[in-house]
Structure formats: structure tokens, C-alpha cells
Structure 1
Amino acid sequence: MRRLNAVFTSLLLSCFLIPHASATEHVVPEADIHALASSPQWLTTKVYIEGEPDKDVKANYPGVVGLSMWDPLRNRYEFFYTDTGRSKHADGGGGYFMVTGDRKTHILIPDLGPNRTIVRRLEKLDNSEFTYSREVPRDMIPTQPPVRIYVVHAPYKGPIKTAMSN
């Protein structure tokens, strides 16, 4: 009986003392949603189609190009035109956003406009880059087959100043 107790005690102690594989694996840092607050404005710098990262197709996807503002404390967003700084809020370019608990999905819930909830895959988010991807019809033409576009943003340092409507 003592021998059996000693074996069980040894096994129990070994569980605590030997590191598990999951505890020693390299952990990839997760996107920090508060990185959106590191810049008052973000500018779309590039749009590319999956598999073609060297080909910028911003001209084919004007609906996703612009300046944006993010307020992680209120979970509010708003988009603006890059030439005038005018808000896109009335056309669905403003509302609430959320990031899923696994920090892989970025969801927009517009206040107004024709769009409903927009689900985007969060590709990268830190103080210097915000990139998401989503499936849309090629060139945003409804009859075209879907493609996955990647929309890259960087902190904006230009002359246009914007302010959130809400």
C-alpha cells in the first residue's frame, strides 16, 4: 500500500514539475484592438487580391478606400473620403465595430445605409499597420465571381483632419 501511495504521489508531482508541450510552445502575439487608437486617422495604402500581393488594385475597389477613424473605447468607427475629408457615415460608413474573442474577425455594424453587418478577417493589427481581408465580387461588380481582397491601412499623417459624427 505504501508503495502504491509513493507511485501516485510521484506521478502527481511529476505533472506539476514537468512542463507540458503547450506551456513551452511559442505564442504568437495577438492583435491588440487598442492599436487602432494609436493613430487618430488611418489611410488605405493598398488593396490587393489574394495571391497577388504586388499588384495594387485600389482603383477597382473605391468603396473600401479612404480615411478611417476608430474609437476602441466606444467601439465606434467612421470612414471619410480621402480627397475632401467628408464623412461616409450617411452612406453606411459609420457605426459600431467589434472584434471576436479569438481576435481573428473584425465585424462592422453600420448605423445607416444599405449594408448590414460586414464580417472581415483581421490579418494584422499593430501600431503601424491595420490589414483586413474579405470576400467581395471582383471589381465590386455584383455579377463577377468572388475574390478575397486585402485592404492595408497605415496611420495617416496628412493635412486632412476629420472628426467622428457620433
Structure 2
Amino acid sequence: MRRLTLAFTGLFFAGLLGAPSSYAKPVEADVRALASSPQWLTTKVYIEGEPENDVKAKYPGVVGISMWDPQRNRYEFFYTDTGRSKHPDGGGGYFLVTGDKQTHILVPDLGPHRTIVRRLEKLDNTEFTYSREVPRDMVATNPPVRIYVVHAPYTGPIKTQMSN
């Protein structure tokens, strides 16, 4: 019995000494970068492992113009064709970025979703990319896939204004 205890203790300490501090890839994220542009536009959506294949048409729910207010931790999404707010359908509310800058969490004010958890992939003054798991092609009965949603500062003609 003593030999088994010593073996488990040795394995425990070996695991502590040899374990990496994190398996997540480091993200260069600065939440203040969201304020570097008044509007952000979805420029590409792709499925994990297929970055050359833009599938925006299959994921219209994640495509649009977005506005972020890091001072109040508020966000709001808008349609790209009309500039109309998606707030009544859950496209607006509060957000936060976790202390390790790995996770971006949305808490909508309205709509069917309670909380949406997204993994931050890149966030700086020129690009905001997150990933999350959704049903393939946004069909509830399909198996989940990880999509990557890429945004760039929007400079087009549509001007949006946050509801709250």
C-alpha cells in the first residue's frame, strides 16, 4: 500500500512540474481596441480547418455591423443592408472579456438566448475575430462545428447608433 501511495505522489508531483500553464493559445487582445472603430463589419465566416472557404451566406445570424462600448460594456448588432438594429431579437446587451483575455461573453437584453460564450481569436485595431460552436449551417438538428467570425473596422455609408 505504501508503494502505491508513493507512486501516486510521485506521479502527482511530476504532473505539476511538467504541466504547461495553459493549453489555450495566447491571444493578443485589448478590449479597448473595440472602441478604436465606431462600427465593425463581419468580413468573413469560416469553419475550423477551412479558412479559405467563406461561408457567410450559411450563417447570416452572425453577420452584420456591430458597435461596442467598452466604457459601459454594451454592444449592439445591426443589419448590413438597412442598418436596422438587431437589439429586439437579442442583438444587444452587455458583454465582458474574461481576465485571461481568452473568452468574450455576451449577455443579451432581449431575445431567445441567455448568454453567448465566444473564444477570442484576435482583437486589435484592425481585426476582431472570435470563434464559437454552432450547429452546422445554423440548422438545430445538424452536428456542431466551430465557426470563426472575422470583423474589420467598417467605413461604409451606413451610420448606426446604439439604442441604449
Q: TM-score, normalised by structure 2?
A: 0.84
- AA matched with 1:137: P
- Please give the per-residue CA displacement for 1:45-75, whole angstroms capped at 9, x wherever unaligned: 0000000000000000000000000000000
Q: Distance in 2 between matches of 1:147 and 1:62?
A: 15
Number of residue-to-residue matches in the alignment:
139
Matched residue, 1:93? 91
Q: Distance in 2 between matches of 1:56 and 1:81?
A: 19
Q: Distance in 2 between matches of 1:30 and 1:132?
A: 12
User: Aligned to 2:85, what secondary structure does the other structure show?
Assistant: coil
Higher Rg = 1
User: Aligned to 2:93, what secondary structure does the other structure show?
Assistant: strand
User: Aligned to 2:66, what secondary structure does the other structure show?
Assistant: strand
Match for residue 101 of structure 2 among 93, 96, 103 = 103
User: Aligned to 1:36, what secondary structure does the other structure show?
Assistant: helix
- Structure 2: tracts of 5 or more residues without a match: 1-25
- Structure 1: tracts of 5 or more residues without a match: 1-27
1:66-77 pair list within 5 angstroms: 66-77=64-75
Q: 1:29 to 1:114 in 2, by over 3 A?
A: closer
Aligned-residue identity in percent: 85
Matched residue, 1:143? 141
1:114-125 pair list within 5 angstroms: 114-125=112-123
What is the alpha-carbon root mean square deviation over aligned residues? 0.9
- 1:30 Cα shift? 3.4
Q: Distance in 2 between matches of 1:79 and 1:105?
A: 19
User: Aligned to 2:155, what secondary structure does the other structure show?
Assistant: coil
